[in-house]
Structure 1
Amino acid sequence: MSHDVQVGPAADGTPSALGLLLADPSLLVAQGRYWLYPTTDGHPGTAIDPSVFTDDDGVTYLYWGNAVPLNDDLMSFDPAKVVSWVPTAFREAATVHRRHDRYYLSWSENDTREPDYRVRYAVGPGPLGPWEDRGVLLAKDTERGILGTGHHAVLRVPGTDDWIVAYHRFAIPDGDGTHREIMFDRLVHRPDGDLEPVTFARTPIRVPLPPTALLGRLMLGRSAAVFAAAVLAPAGCGSGGGKTVLSQRHIVNGLPPRQCQGLRP
């Protein structure tokens, strides 16, 4: 991908802009506004599934295969500051998160229509790398019928060191690369700084969330941010003790979620 690609943000003062997206947007809440960075048509080069990451110093970075710090307007950047690195088997959906002084770049490899669609990751000392490939993070489990696990997003539960990875897989049953469902699992950071390969839970994940985390603080990235509000369980579906929780749910083909399920394949 080339640095002359433009990923045009849309900005609005309310989350209502979420209804105006084109494809796979990343969400940023900054300057009292909601900023959306979708994949768009009408620009030179190739840009697909961009993401944004704001570091502790307040600088926001845009990732779209390349990476660059955004200017203060959050709508432009200096082409001379673009950093390029070709991840192993890179396909799409690069995203970055930080824990302590270690940065994690993760991305999807293979094709979303393939059972082997999966997530790989690398580590580095800063938001622009340099990156060291650390292998596959999230992959299929054929014995349980879990296939096509990719196009993920990572969040830290506010006020904790608990981490969640959201991703989609072939819908169960009878799904494929265009009939998918969204899943959540825990993301575990090892003491040595690497990530544990994701283990697929068999029961719903319920994580208490503070009220301020309902949308803006859930910096999920890409399309995961769009369904952030949808996956916060309403009463009777993953709620407990009057607290809002992040609950395992399914969204298939843009249709309303099915009822919460007690067991997972």
Structure 2
Amino acid sequence: MMKKLTIAWSPVSLLGWMLLFAFPVQAEEPAGKAAAVVGEVTVVGSSGDIREIRRNTPFFAGDIISTGPNSRVRLVFSDNSIVALRPSSRLVIDEFMHTGDSQVDKSSLSLLRGGFRAVTGAIGQARKANHQIATPVATIGIRGTDHEARYCAGDCVDLIDIGVDAPPDGLYTGTNAGQTVVGDQYFSAGEYGYTDPGGSTIPLLEAPQILAADPELRIDLKEPAEVPGERAPGPTDKTDQSEPTSESAPSPTKDDLLEIPAQPQSVRAVPCL
């Protein structure tokens, strides 16, 4: 004889199920979108998923964005701040929240490798302390609207062809408008700084060539986003992936994307100031 199964619902559990279906879980809001992409640009998500960035692809808090050689990307955040990553760079979106409330809004990024040119958005303009970019040797506090940086760790040899020798390792920063603070040093428009691998920051009397001569940093961030040679628009869904073809190269792993290639000993041994 088949027994009849009876499920008894308590008022609390019944209310919980009702609320679950009445208020579905909201999708994660993107921190921004890629406005322009040239070459190979990839993302490792907070869950370890690997995505290729194309124009209009969203990015999220927790993402690690990497540009390959001869590749670049212009990131536009939801607060209208802009970060243009040069080739062979890596940027982490540590935290990003933009609600319009300056008490809770925050933009916290980390440059692990390479360089960038950036313009401050609404978060930094409303509350300067809420927007900063960390590097392996110093944190850049934003007090201005336009600044640039290049972190060298034995890998700043890409400008030799245009007459720029690899400089000593460390962080090179420049302020184009407004003011920035690097470590305990403040820099106004037209001023430059250098932070050695030990974290000591000093002002520079003139623009370092690793910044001034770099064509990747001499761009107008207010120009239209379309860039010659950029990747065609792709899917905007965070989890949407293109199907590999039989002729495609093997897909890179997370470790492949996060690995920083070893540099020649002659480059790594450049003395520091």
Normalising TM by the smaller chain, what interval? under 0.3
Compare CA radii of gyration and give the structure with the larger one: 2
| Structure whose residues are more often helix by fraction | 2
Higher relative contact order (CA 8 A, sep 6+): 2
TM-score (norm 1): 0.27
